[in-house]
Structures are given as C-alpha cells and as structure tokens.
Amino acid sequence: MSKEVFVIEHINQHSYIEARSTAEEIDRLFYYDGQDLGNRYHEQATVFRLWAPLAAEVRLVRYEQEEESGKEMIMERSEKGTWTAKLDGDQDGLVYTYKVKSNEQWNEVVDPYARAVTVNGEKGVVVNLMSTNPENWSTEKPQHSSVMDTIIYELHIRDASIHPESGMVHKGKYLGLAETGTTGPTGMETGLDYIKSLGVTHVQLLPMFDYATVDEADLDLLQYNWGYDPNHFNAPEGSYATDPFEPKTRIKEMKQMIQSFHDQGLRVIMDVVYNHVYSVEDSSFNKLVPGYYFRYHNDQLVNGTGVGNDTASERMMMRKFIVDSVSYWAHEYHLDGFRFDLMGIHDVETMNQVRQALDDIDPSIILLGEGWDLHTTLPADQKANQKNASLMPRIAQFNDYFRDSLKGNTFDRTQKGFISHYPGLEENIKKGVCARGYDHTATFTSPSQVVTYAEAHDNHTLWDKLQITNKELPPSIRKRMHRLASAILLTSQGIPFLHAGQEFMRTKSGEENSYKSPDIINQLDWRRSAEYAEDIEYIKGLITLRKTYPSFRLESYQLIYQNLNWIEAPANVIAYRLSGQPNELVVVYNSNPWEVEVNLPLKGDWSVLVDSEKAGIEDIAVYKASSVNVSEISTLILKKND
C-alpha cells in the first residue's frame, strides 16, 4: 500500500489531520501541479477541481438566483488530494460553493480560485471570461523599453474621482478612471487626462481584488477602505463597479479601465496582498485545509504582518496559489506590474517563481514590493526582504532609507530630514542618489531593484510631515522644502515613485493612517490641484528632464560609478556631475536656508535647466563663470553647452 493511499484511508477513518503539524508530509504527498484548479468553463461543460487533501467528503453546491439553499453534488476524489466534478452544458453565470467535511464537521466555502463572485464575495460564480472583454480589448501594451524608464504614480481608485469637482461621471468607480476629457476647477484636466499629462509611465492602483471591509450591498453608506483586507484574491472588488450585484460587471469595467490607461500610453500596476487574509476563521483556505496555509508558533497564529496572521508562502500549495493568481491577473487583465504588500513576509523562492511566471507571460512586467524585515517564523535567509535582495534579481524594493533621510523618520513624526536642514545627512542622500540602501541591510545588485520615494498612501504625506516638523516656518518655505524633495527623487538613480497628489502638495489634514477615513480626507482635491498649478508644472518639468537625459536612468552600479562624480560642496549641500549624452550635467541640492556657492567642474557655458522656480529642458539662464550661486532650499541643474 502506498503512503498516499494509507494517508487517504486514515483521513477517511479519522476525518481530520492537524495540517500545520504535517505540512511537509502534505507537500510531499499531495502537491498538485496542474493548472486546472477552480472552475474551467467551456460552452459544452464546466469542470471543477478543488484541492482539499484532508477532507473526508466534498460536495459541489449549485444555487439558483436568490436561492438560499443549493443543490448538492458529490465530488470525486482525484489525484494529489484534489476533488473533481463536471457539469454538462453552458454553465455561464452558475453560482456555486463547496461543502467540505473535516473533523466530522461540514464547512461551506467559496472556491479560493473563483474568478467571479456574488455581492460581498459570498459565493463563487462560473463565467465565460470571453464575454467580459470590452469592445476594444487588446493585448497590445504601451511601449516600454527598459525598467529604468519607469516612473510610478500610486493612486486609489475612489480617491481619483470622488471629489465633487472632479468632472467625472462615474465617481469612485473603475469607469471614472476610464473617462477622458474631464475637467475640474478653472478648466484644468482631471482624471486620466491629467495623469497622462504628468508624463508618468505606470499607474499603481491600490488593491482592487475583492476585499472585505466595504459593504457592496449598500453603497449608499459612506464607506471607505484602502483594501488591504483580502477576501477573494482572484475576483475584482465590487464597490468600484456600477453594479456589484452582477458578477460580470466588475470584471468588464476593470478591464475597460485598464484598456483606457493603455490607450493613453500608461501601464498599470496592481497592488496585491497575499501576505494575510482578513479573517482566518472565515477564510476558504482555513476551512479547506485547517492550519496548512498559515504560520503558527506554539499553536498561535504568527503575526509578522501586524494584522493577525501570516500566510505560509513556503508551503507548496500556498506558493502555487500566489504564482497562479498573479499569472491569472497578468494574463486575463493584461496588467503590466505587481506591487507586493509586505513582501518581506513571503519567502525568496516564492518571489522568484512569481518573477519567472511573469517572464513567461511578458518580461516587461515590473515586480516590486515592500521588503521590510518582519518578525515571522521564516529563517532569515529565506525572507523576501532588502537583506536578501541579491537573491531576487529583477524584483524591486522600496528604499525607506532614502525616504527617511529626505524628510525625517516616518515613525518619529517630529524628526526632520535633509530637506528640513537636519545636519549630517549628506552621505545618506548620496547613497540614495546612487540607488543604494543601508549598507548593512540592503543587498541591491542593480539600480533597477530600488524604488525611490518620499511618500506613499500610508503614513503622513510629505506636506503634512513638513507641517509637523517645520510648523514655525511659513508655507512658502515649506513649499521650497517640498519641491526640493520631489526634485531629488526625480533626479536620483533607481525607479522614482510619486504618491498621487504629491505634485500639488497633497494633504490629508494631518491624518497619518487614513485607511478607513472619509472621502474628505482621502480624495484627490482637484480644487487644490488648480491652486498649485505652478507646482504641478514643476513636477512635469522634472519628469520631462528625466526622460530626456539617460544619465538619470543608468542601468548598473558600474555605470553610476563611471558617470557620477561628486563635487565638493558646503555642509547640507549635495553636488555632483553626470557625464553622458546629450550633455554633461551638474546637479546641486541645497537644503540650507541661505544661498551657497558651488564650483563648476568644467570651463565654458552652462545653461540652467532647473532652479527653485522652473524645471524642464529649456534654458532658463546661461552661466559663463567658474562657479554658481544656488538659492536657499532649492535644486539647481545645469547642462554643459559644447
């Protein structure tokens, strides 16, 4: 008798095995590598396959519209712990769940591989995905020759359009971001047209899979959440759809939004959250194979995520689920990138398998994540964090070291940074400019592994941080600090990342963690954008400059060391020369509240491209002197005229 047959017979006799104590044995005996988990729709028949190796019995439950109890069909035990059933005929629109018997108890669960769900994700739905494609659905993507050309703009779907003066019809919806020709106060562009006008290359959207904390059945309620509370990983969130009760609507409208971005030359990154589930007790994973999908220590759930549980990506079927899910989104929705929330919870091997799976679909898909060193039960050398970046080539990570050096420690609200004239940070900024992190913690092997940023959706916005750390200063001075920070990150090596609204000094009224705050806090304020139009133009100019000069986008540390040379400068000033085509450049960041003088490295004419007021590729002024004066709290960028 084989070991697998013995285990199955034991399961049938005793109904339940404690999964977390036998995870390695389950992986060895029951790892299923097929690509047909979930339901596979065909017009002639739909086949269901569920992985539940410890179950004594499994049934497929079919529901008619508005029916409270469904019709049950016994599923057959199949290979490697899977159960199968087949329904003949066209099952498009069929509502279904599974009933699983473990430990003499029956649990009803939603298919973890479900690609469509009913309102609030209460049941799975079979759909003909071809029927969800919009009319202009195309696999053609905007051209993107190198990952180093990437400029990311992070955005929450609802925030973009919900403002009363956004000019968008479908406020708070996928379709709001699909609208073009929208204008706000003073006739300024809003929404998709506005984002395109900035010059960014990728829009990173906060979670848009089905999440738990917004009631889709009552959208008249004032509800808000960022979405970092996963309910179903493979189905879109219904609150962003015009009709969350119709399962296909959310799929089709998300595709319409993505296609609209592509039509405007913008790529789309999806924020994914595989590191935990909203509720372990209610999760399909836990009901199907209790204990297997999560990490435990001393019979307690491990909580490195800080939200109650850590998924166990090192388990073979959890790893497979993550890889399968990302691959599905990339293929079916034509997505161009994935941002892994709390990536440090996952293991290195899982992330490398995700990278390989995406390469098989489209090597230009970008993969990035939060590589924090989190307190979970993985061995240190297996954590997908900054310390192990060298083990995960072509996976980028956020550079919190540079962020905190620029504006002050994120978790110490009163601490100042370089832009606020905090002394002694010159070497930190130099490392950030070269796309380096902490020497003793980060093992980046390429600038393409480094995401450079000053703010993101969580914690204080840069403007709010400056209001706290420099409350004694007038707004005009804080604006100079803010511009200096944005100029530094957009002219540094690595991959620049902007939080939506950063270009017009976005404020959340000082609220640090606005994940469930009302729209008045989180919305993109299109009236404020009109008031700060000059600051937006400044950011646009910096983006144009970055795109025009390849020396800001060097692809290796060797090229950086060959082409970037530091210039002697006063305290609290960073100055360097960038060699290369089409021109030699000199870049100076002055955080002092006074003017400084910096010597130029070469004789001849130097044109100013960026100063405290303007930025771009057009000459602002020409210097013929051997040195330049740099105004207080500002950036100065010059090009050498041959």
State the catalytic residues. Answer: 341, 370
Cα–Cα distance, 618 to 620 (Å, whole number): 6
Nearest CA to 529 out of 509, 500, 490, 496 is that of 500
Taking CA 237 as the corner, what is the angle to CA 458 and CA 450, rounded to the nearest 5 degrees? 40
Strands of 75-168 (E only): list them: 76-77, 82-88, 95-102, 105-109, 124-125, 152-155
Give the 3-state DSSP-derived string for 478-506, with helices as H, strands as E and coil as C. Answer: HHHHHHHHHHHHHHCCCEEEEECCHHHCC
H-run or E-run covering 347: none
Nearest CA to 285 out of 335, 325, 337, 327 is that of 325
DSSP state of 449: G
Measured from the Cβ of residue 403, the count of other Cβ atoms closer than 10 Å reads: 25
338 within 8 A of 367, measured Cβ to Cβ: yes
3-class state of residue 476 by DSSP: helix
Strands of 336-468 (E only): list them: 337-340, 366-369, 396-398, 450-453
Q: CA 124 → CA 116, 362, 500, distances in Å? A: 6, 29, 34
Locus of tokens 């395109």: 196
Strands 209-211 and 230-236: antiparallel
Residues 6 or more apart whose CB falls under 8 angstroms from that of 27 comprise 315, 316, 317
Packing angle of the helix pair 400-407, 462-469 (nearest 10 deg): 40
Residues 6 or more apart whose CB falls under 8 angstroms from that of 378 comprise 295, 314, 345, 347
DSSP state of 290: T
Cα–Cα distance, 272 to 285 (Å, whole number): 17
609 within 8 A of 624, measured Cβ to Cβ: no
Cα–Cα distance, 518 to 506 (Å, whole number): 16
Residues 6 or more apart whose CB falls under 8 angstroms from that of 318 comprise 285, 292, 293, 311, 312
Taking CA 196 as the corner, what is the angle to CA 194 and CA 199, rounded to the nearest 5 degrees? 115
Cα–Cα distance, 83 to 37 (Å, whole number): 10
630 within 8 A of 588, measured Cβ to Cβ: yes
151 within 8 A of 496, measured Cβ to Cβ: yes
365 within 8 A of 338, measured Cβ to Cβ: yes
Bridge partners, 38 (sequence order):
49
Cα–Cα distance, 124 to 284 (Å, whole number): 11
Cα–Cα distance, 335 to 141 (Å, whole number): 9
